[in-house]
Structure 1
Amino acid sequence: MSILRSELPSIVAFLVFAGFKVAGDAVKPDTVGTAGSLVLLALIFAVVMWCAFSVVRHAECLATLFGEPYGTLILTLAVIGIEVALIVAIMLSGDAVPTMARDTMFSVIMIVLNGLVGLCLLLGGIRHRNQSYNLQGANAFLSVLVPLAVFALVLPRITHSAPGGELSSVQAGFEIAMSVLLYGVFLAIQTVTHSDIFQQPDVGGNDDGHHDVVVRTVPFHVVGLMGALVPIILLSKSLALYVEFGIEAVGAPIAFSGFIVAALVLMPEGMSAVQAARDNKLQRAVNICLGSAVATIGLTVPAVLIVGWVTGLRIELGLETADIILLMLTLFVSLLTFGSRTTNYLQGAVHLALFAAYIMMIFDLS
C-alpha cells in the first residue's frame, strides 16, 4: 500500500492522459472556451508538477544510493528530459513559435542563476551567515556555461549569415557538435576524474545531503523515475496546447510561455536546492543550480536544433539586445559571486534584484 501511495502521481497522470484521449475534441480549447481551457490548463499543470516532484524524489533516492555528484547529475538529466519534451511539444503544436526554445532556455538561465541562486544565498546566508562550497566545482560549471550561453544565445543575433536570430547551417552544425563535446568533457570531469571538486569541502563528501526519503533498490527507483517521466512527456502536447491558447486569451506576451515551461520543470529541483542551502549544504545547491543551467544549454540546444532540422521548423536562438545585456550582466555577477570560497546574503539580494528585472522585462518589452 505504501508503494502504491508513493507512486500515485504517475498513476493519476496516466489516467488523466487516458481521459484526454477518450474525450478527444470535446476538451479542445476552441470547444470548452477560455474559462474551461484555463481550468484544464491548471489541471494538467498540477498533474505534471506532481509527477515532476515524483521524479525528484526518485532521483534523490538514487543520489543517496550512488552519492554525489552522480545523484545531482541524475536529477539534472531527468529535469532536462522534461524540459526538452515540453519545448518540442510546444514547438510542434499549432503555429510553431520560432523563439520558444530561446525563451525557455533564457528563462531557465535567469530563474537558475538569479532566482534560485539568489534565494539559496539569501535564505542560507540569513540562517548560517557565511556559507562555504567548493570553489573549483563552481568555476568548472561557469567555465562551460559562459561560452555555451554566448555561442547559443548571443552570437546568432550578432552574425549576419542567417536572418534575425536564426543560425546558419554551419553555425547549427558547429553549435550541436560543440555543445555535445564540451558537455561530454564536463561530464567526464564531474563523474570520473575530478568528482571531488563537486563535493562539500567541509564534510569530505561523506554527507550526501539527502534526507526524509525512503530508499529502496536501484531498479525500483529507476523504474519509478521513468514511470513519472513518461506521463509528463505524454501530457506535454496537451499542456502546450492549453498554454498557447491561454496566453493568447489573456493577452500575455509570448515570452511568458517560455517562463511557464522553465518554472514548471525547475520548481521541484529548485525547492531541493533551496532546502540544501538552508541545511548548510551549499555545494549541493550549487551543483543543482549551475548544473541545470549548463545542462540546459549543453543538451537542450542540440536537441531543439536537431528537431528543427528534422521537422523543417524555423528556430530562432538569438536574444534581443535588452535580453543580451541582462544575460551578460547575470554571467558577470555570477562570476563575482562564485569568485570566493564563501557567500553571504548580500550576494543573494543582488541576484534576486536581477531576477526581478528579468520579470519586469518580460512584460515591458513585449
Structure 2
Amino acid sequence: MTAALRRVLTPLTTARAAVGWLTVLVLWAVSDLLTPPVPAVPLLVAIAVIVGVIIFASTGVVHQAEQLARRLGDPYGSLVLTLSIVMIEVVLICAVMLGPGEHPTIARDSVMAVSMIILNLVVGLCLLVGGLAHGHLQPNRTGVSTYLSLLVVLCMLAFGLPAALGTDGAFRPWQVIAVVAVTLGCYAVFLWRQTGAQAEDFTEVGGAAPVSSPVPGTSGSVRTGDDDAASRPPLGEVLRAHRPELPARLVVLVVSVLPVVLLSHDMAALLDDALGRAGAPPAVAGVLIAGIVFLPESITSLRAARAGRIQRASNLCHGALVSTVGLTIPAVLVIGLLTGQTVVLAESPANLLLLGVTLALSTVALAAPRVTAVHGAAHLVLFTAYGIVVFS
C-alpha cells in the first residue's frame, strides 16, 4: 500500500465505513422483525442504534470532505461532497417511485423539507455560530447572489407553477417536457460557470471575518481567505500532483456517504411507526429523514462557519439545495412521464409563503456587507414557523 493510500485508509476511516455497511446488512437481515408494527422497546432501540451509527459514519464523511476541500479548494471541494450526497438522494427517491405503490408527493415533501432545513436551520445556525465567534462575516456576495437567483427560479418552477398552471397540483405532459429542459439547462449552465470562468465568485473573501474574536484553540487572527486562493495552482496541476490520493478519497467519501443515506431511508418506516403512535403528523418523519441525510454537509458547514469560512458554508448549503432542486425535480418528472404516475409538486399556501419569505430573507441578509448572528437568529425563527406549519 502506498503512502498516499495509508493516509486515506486510516484505521478510524475503515472502522467508520465498516460499521455503517455492517449496520445496513444487519438491518437487511432482520427486516422481517422490523416490519411495522414493532414492539415499543425494540423499535426505540433500533432507531437509537441507527441514529448513532449515522452520526458515527457522518464524521468520516466530514473528514474526507474537508481533506478534499483542502486539496482542491472551493468551489470544487464543496461540490464533491454536495454532488455525492445529492446524487444518492436522487437515486433513492427515484427507486421509491419505481417501486410498488403510489408516491405522488414524495419529491415535493422531500425537497421542501430539505429546503427549510438547509435555508433556515443550517444556514441560521451557521450565521449564529459564525457571528458569535467572529462578530460579523463577509460572504462572497456575487457567489451567494448566484445561488439565490437560481433558487428563486428553480423553486418557482418546482412548487409555484404547478399550483398556478397544473392540474390537481401536477404538470401536464407538455409542461413537464418544458420544465425539465429549462431546469436541467439552467443547472448545467450553473455548473459550467461555477467550475470555470466564475470559480473565484465562490471563494472566500480575503480578510472577511474580523480577527477580534478568534476561534477557541487558535491564537492570533483567523485567516478566512481560501488558503491563499490567489496563489493556488490550477486544478489540473493539483489533480496530477495528488493523483493517487484524490481518487482514493473520492471513493472513500462515496463509500462512507452511501450507508448514511441508506440507513436514513431504512429508518423511515420505523419513524413512521413511532411517530404514528405518538400522534405526530406524517410530515415530521420526512423532516427528520431529510435532516439526517444532509447531516454530513450540515456538520461540515457549521465547522466552516465557526472558523469564519462563511463562503464555504454557503457553497455547501446553497450549493446542495441548488443541486437538490435542479436534479430531483427533473428526475421525478421524467419518471412520472414514462411510467404514467402522477407527480404532485404544488405546495400548500402556507409552505409557499414560508419559502418565499425564506428566499427574501436570504437575499436581504446575505447581500449585506457584513452578516451577523442576528441574521442567523431570524432564519431560525423561520424554521420554527415551518415547524408550526408541519404540526398544524
What is the CA–CA distance in structure 2 between the aligned matches of 1:116 and 1:258, rounded to whole Å?
16
- Report the counterpart of residue 162 of structure 1 in structure 2: 167
Q: Distance in 1 between matches of 2:95 and 2:269?
A: 9
Over aligned residue pairs, what C-alpha RMSD do you find?
2.5
What secondary structure sits across from 1:72 in the alignment?
Answer: helix
1:243 and 2:271 correspond: yes
Letter paired with 1:263 = G
Q: Structure 1 residues 191 and 179, CA, compared in 2 at 3 Å: closer, same or farther? A: same
Which runs of structure 2 are paired with 1:1-366 in the superposition (5 Å)? 3-30=10-37, 32-88=38-94, 91=97, 95-159=101-165, 161-163=166-168, 165-202=169-206, 205-207=226-228, 217-232=245-260, 234-235=262-263, 238-364=266-392
Kindly state the Cα deviation for residue 67 of structure 1 after the two structures are TM-superposed: 1.3
Asked if 2 retains the 8 angstrom alpha-carbon contact of 1:129 and 1:344, the reply is yes
Of all paired residues, the percent bearing the same amino acid is 36
**Structure 1 portions without partners, runs of 5+:** 209-214
Q: How many residues align?
A: 355
**Residue deviations 1:46-69 (CA, integer Å, cap 9, x gap):** 334433332332222222221111
Q: Please identify the structure whose Cα radius of gyration is greater.
A: 2
Distance 1:138 1:172, change over 3 A: same
For the Cα contact (< 8 Å) 1:133–1:201, is it kept in 2?
yes
Q: 1:175 to 1:33 in 2, by over 3 A?
A: farther
CA contact (8 A) 1:104 1:262 kept: yes
After TM superposition, the score normalised by the length of structure 1 is 0.88
Distance change in 2, residues 1:56/1:81 (3 Å): farther
The question of whether the paired residues in 1 share the 8 Å contact of 2:203 and 2:226 is answered with: yes
More helix by share: 1
Q: Quote the offset at 1:236 in angstroms.
A: 5.6
* 8 Å Cα contact 1:13-1:231 kept in structure 2: yes
Task: Note the C-alpha offset of 1:233.
Answer: 5.3
| Partner SS for 1:25 | coil
